Amino acid sequence: MIHRTSLSGMLCTAAIGWALLAAPAAARQGPVDLTAAAQPAKPAPSVNAPKPAPSPSATPPAPVPSAQTTTAPADAATTAAEPVFQPAPPPLAHWTIPDAQALLAAIKGVRTEGLTPADYEPANLAAAIAKGEGDDLDALASRLFVWLAEDLRDGRTPMPARIQWFAIDPDQDLHPNSQLLAQATETHDIPGVLASLNPTHPDYALLKDMLAKAKDPRQIAMIKANMDRWRWLARDMGLQYLIINVPEQELRLTVNNRIIRTYRAIVGKPGKTATPQLAEQVKNVVFNPTWTVPQSIVVGEGLGARLIKNPRQAAREGYVATKAADGTITVVQQPGDNNSLGRVKLDMPNEHAIYIHDTPNRNLFALPARALSHGCIRAERATELAMTMAILGADLPPETAVEYNLSGKYTKVPMTKPWAVYITYFTVARDVTGLMRSFPDIYQRDAPVIASFSKPRELHTDQRKSTEAIIKLDNPL
């Protein structure tokens, strides 16, 4: 239970967020010093400021059965053909000799970005340059520029090697091949256009520095794989976002590219309950959530039949059980300290039924290995996180956020500002102290990425995410 005595700490977190939102762009670099950020040099907006609170929903959604199901029948692989993904036809531009030479120099120097020059046929390009301008140079240079731009923008790793990767990268829509090619050849700034595609997240630059110093082949392979993973995400990750690194089992709240808070996280157990990689949006902050119990428990463990027979016992245990005309039993756990979702839930609608929530078993956050859930993310200090997001993302007055939490009633606060969530998988990254380190490959997802780098480059296709089965467990236990 969150008491009023903890209000000052929660409002301090919100004040940090406000200070960062108001800071000039030149000051928004590097990890945040929380002690300095909390100093009273710039007072936070008054908690009594006349900001209209959004209209929350005080009624929980109608309960629906929640079962361990997939989006397709178990034998779908035998009844439906795999989708066929085709490479797009390459665009064409006119290449001058200086521009082609600049492209050749970029190809020869691409090792610094964790890519392999041989993938982009430097010898063939040099031979075409020696022949002079013409159709042959235009065709070859255009094709090699597009290949290099695609790998810098979207990643070199073929989609089938990106296990459980469902985070769709928007960069190819924002910066299509034809646009990049035209920009590079019309401005005669080949290196500038290519450099503009590199990820802007600080970890990418740190990995690049590590690569320049690395000697061990295994370490080099790990660094290259993790540099490529940054390319799988949006280059611009947004003004404010949550990012979860599953191998690290940590969550970060970020505003204006600065880390406001870090939270320990519990992630999915290896196997079918592994947490998939996603890029979604928080749509609602839910205080005192209900939880619709999965049918695997309602039916499989006999919970539904037991509670239907004894409604008073169901009420004592914090459940409401109903039986439909067709005999289907639905069990909904009511808000409270023992609710499996804890005191708050961050609703981020997605086809995997993955979301971020609290837990009554907060002692688990003290464990060094926290891959324990059925896929969803449990966040340490989840109430603080949810209140901060409601204040910053829905203009909810802090006092109102506290009231909603203490009410014990289901209350859904719609977000009025975009708030992205990135569930990522980095095995070499900054830890919570800001140091680069390695993390255990808990889902064994490094091997296919590293193996793809030892093979010839594959043509990019229109595939945007994994074609693996989507498993909806929706079970925080």
Encoded tokens for 181:
């090619």
Read off the pLDDT of residues 77-98 as tens digits, 9 standing for 90 and up: 334 456 788 888 889 999 999 9
d(CA 139, CA 141): 6
Could you give the 3-state DSSP secondary structure of residue 186? helix
Encoded tokens for 158:
């073929």
Note the pLDDT of residue 81: 59
Under a CB-based contact definition with an 8 Å cutoff, are residues 383 and 2 in contact? yes
- The values of phi and psi at residue 161, to 5°, are -90, -5
Topology of domain 55-72+201-477, CATH: L,D-transpeptidase catalytic domain-like (2.40.440)
Read off the pLDDT of residues 147-157 as tens digits, 9 standing for 90 and up: 999 999 999 99
Note the pLDDT of residue 472: 76
Q: Letter for the amino acid at 336?
A: G
Could you tell me the CA-to-CA distances from 326 to 193, 213, 322, 358, 379 in Å, in that order?
A: 62, 66, 12, 34, 38
Query: Vertex 337, ends 335 and 342: CA angle to 5°?
Result: 75
Chain centroid, CA 322 distance in Å: 36
d(CA 464, CA 13): 37
Stretch (H or E) spanning 202: helix 202-213
Tell me the domain boundaries of the chain. Answer: 55-72+201-477, 85-154+171-199
Chain centroid, CA 348 distance in Å: 11
284-287 and 420-424 strand pairing: unpaired
Chain centroid, CA 177 distance in Å: 25
Note the pLDDT of residue 12: 52
Encoded tokens for 31:
């990890």
d(CA 416, CA 7): 23
Note the pLDDT of residue 19: 46
258-268 and 371-373 strand pairing: parallel
Model confidence, pTM = 0.84
Could you give the 3-state DSSP secondary structure of residue 215? coil
> How confident is the chain (477 residues) per 10-residue block, as mean pLDDT?
51 49 39 33 38 60 44 38 78 97 98 98 98 97 98 98 96 97 98 97 96 97 98 94 98 88 97 95 97 90 93 94 95 94 96 95 96 95 96 95 96 95 98 94 98 97 91 66
- The values of phi and psi at residue 364, to 5°, are -70, -20
Under a CB-based contact definition with an 8 Å cutoff, are residues 139 and 110 in contact? no
